[in-house]
Structures are given as C-alpha cells and as structure tokens.
Amino acid sequence: MAIQWFPGHMNSTRNAIKERMKGGIDVVIELLDARLPGSSSNPLLGQLTEGKPSLKVLNKQDLADPDRNAQWLAHYRAKPDTRAIVLDTSMVAPAKALVDECRVLAPNRGGMAKPLRVLICGIPNVGKSTLINTLVGRKSAKTGDEPGITKVEQKLVLDKDVYLFDTPGMLWPRISVEQSGYNLAASGAVGRNAFSEEEVALELLHYLRAEYPTLVEQRYKIAEPAAELDDEALLAAIGRKRSAMLPGGRVNLQKAAEVLIYEFRQGVLGRITLETPAQFEAWCEASRAQDAERERKQAERKSARKGKDSRAEDRAAREAFKNGE
C-alpha cells in the first residue's frame, strides 16, 4: 500500500515558502525526526529553498538509537553548506545552539543592519511547535499529537538580530519511497485516514524483528525469539499479551496494531531508529529503479498507441484513395 497524505493547507505552505524565499532567507533549518531522519527529510524543500545553507536538526533524539544518531549526524555533516545537531525537549539552551549554528552557516549576516533571517521547516508532528514554544519562552504555537495543527506562518525574534520564520508542517505530494511512507505513518506524521494501522504495524514489526528483536521481546514478554516469528504471529502475540481479544479467543489485530504504534511513538519500546543512511539510500535507489521502469513501460505503451493510430490513419487514407475521395 502506498501511503500519501497532502491536505490542501500543505499546498498553501509550499506557496508560502516560495514567497518567503523571494523576500530573503539566509539559512534554512530543517527539523527532522531522529527516529527516521531520511524519511522525514522533505525532498520538496531542497527545490523550494534554492540551495540555501541548511541546518539539519535531529529532534526527539532521546527516543532514537544513539549509535544511529551519530551515523546520521556524520551523513549530513558531510554534505556541503550543511551542519547538523541533535535536539530534544531536555536541551537547556536550544535557541543558543540554533543561533550559533546558523551564524556559522551565514557568517556575513548579523547586526541590526543585516539581521540573520532563518526559515524553519519540518514535516507534520515532528515537534516543531513544541520547539518554537521553547525558543520564545511562551506558548505561541499550538501543539498536539495530530499532524497539521499549525496552519499559518509566524515571524519570531530568536535573538536581537535573528528573525525566525516558522511554517506549517509539510509533506510532499508523492511519497515514492514505500518504506518512508510506512515510517512516516508509524511516527505520526501522516493523518490517520491515510493508512491502515494493521498494515503499518506489520511493517514496523518486520523491521523491529530484524533490527531490535530484544526490545520487542522485553517489552511484550514474548517467550519465543521475535526474529523466529513472522510478522502476523508476532502482532498476534502482542495482542494476547495486551488482552486485545475478540469473542472466540481471536486476537483483535487492529487493537494490537494501535498498541504497538502508540508505544513506538511514546518511546516505551526503547530507543529505536527505523533507518540507517545506507538503508535509506538503498530504498531510494530501489524507488528510482521502479520509477525508471514505470516510465519505460509508459513510453512503450505511448509508442504502441502512436503506432496503432498511425496505422489506422494509413488505412483510412488508402480507403479514401480507393473510393476516389
């Protein structure tokens, strides 16, 4: 199942970012979910921000695998005009950390004559509104566990000569990397009506069985090794442990899926990251290959239709000639 979710206000956000870039932006902060840094990085943003210096902020790092946090920081820091830091709600001075990094990326901006103009972006439910409230020391942005709460742009003073422009969370119209769609749904970035909890839970378990089997076994007190159970059997075992049962002793897989997804989002399973840089690149490469194959087949069908139309035109011309038309 391909997961797509792009409400109308996200198109408005895209247009708002275009307009903001015309007004002048020096640095773009992209807030990422540290549990899925590649999947939560918006490919549309690079097009909209015209190659501006970028600060990648891995938010919710306390929920993510520490070793993989380090891998992703190294991955982003190796890119030109890019810096990267980790962040969570316990950070003592997030504003100073962000300002310091932005000043490095735009050393020629600063002071009241040339204030540093920063745009902060991120996918829905990545924790941007919570961060904004922390930065300004008051509740200026609505927060919640549903994606898409912030709907309008805000301008905030981050420092005496640093202006921060906040935009609503935005996905992109076509999530071509299938695994990214599942990871975004598991994290809460996608609206509930855009996916099946049971299918997302099975995909999540498929990854956890391979990468974090011990955390699953410990959390749900599963007797059998998680890696030896298939995805459906493991979800059913979780349902039995959480008393998610239907009449006749059947497991309520929908309820079991909701439990698993909720506990992953809350971090009670342990510190988990759903992708490494190498894994994400492999998924992207597979997606590019699928797109190329799809385009090839479309071109073949178009060519075949064109050839068929041409032959039909030839037959019509011959008939017209025979009839003396």
- Going from the first residue of the chain to its last (325 residues), give the mean pLDDT of each consecutive group of 10, the final group possibly shorter: 71 85 92 97 88 95 97 97 91 88 95 93 89 72 45 77 89 90 95 92 97 96 90 96 94 97 97 98 94 83 73 66 64
- Please give the pLDDT value at position 1: 57
Query: Does residue 239 belong to any structural domain of this protein?
Result: yes
Type of residue numbered 200: V
Is residue 323 one of the residues assigned to a domain?
A: no
pLDDT in tens, 56-106: 999 999 999 999 999 999 999 999 999 999 998 778 788 899 999 999 999
Distances (CA, A) of 233 to 41, 75, 79, 291, 302: 33, 36, 42, 33, 45
Indicate if 117 and 161 belong to the same structural domain.
yes
Domain membership of residue 298 (yes or no) is no
Regarding whether 96 and 205 lie in a shared domain, the answer is no
Q: Which residues pair with 165 in a beta bridge?
A: 119, 155
Return the closest-CA partner of residue 124 out of 138, 97, 143.
Answer: 143
- The structural domain count of the chain equals 2
My answer on whether 162 and 206 are in the same domain is no
31 and 114 share a domain?
yes
pLDDT attached to residue 310: 66
Residue 150's pLDDT is: 46
DSSP one-letter string for 185-247: HHHT-S-GGGS-HHHHHHHHHHHHHHH-HHHHHHHHT-SS-GGGS-HHHHHHHHHHHTT-EEG
Residue 171 located in a structural domain: no
- pLDDT reported for residue 165: 92
Q: Looking at 251, 266, 281, which one is the last position of a domain? A: 266
The single residue listed with the structure tokens 């497991």 is 251
Is residue 61 assigned to a domain?
yes
- Are residues 141 and 31 part of one domain? yes
- 136 & 208 share domain: no
Specify the CATH number for the domain of residue 159: 3.40.50.300
Residues 212 and 146 in one domain: no
In the prediction, which pLDDT does 311 show?
Answer: 65
pLDDT at 193: 86
**Do 82 and 123 lie in a common domain?**
yes
- Domain around 214: 196-266
User: Are 162 and 219 in the same domain?
Assistant: no
Quote the pLDDT of residue 152: 53
Q: What confidence score (pLDDT) does residue 10 get?
A: 78
Whether residue 73 lies inside any domain: the answer is yes
Same structural domain for residues 160 and 208?
no
Cβ of 267: how many Cβ atoms within 10 Å?
14
Q: Are residues 59 and 133 in the same domain?
A: yes
**18 plus 119 within the same structural domain:** yes
Q: Which residues contact 5 (CB under 8 A, 6 or more apart)?
A: 147, 171, 190, 191, 194
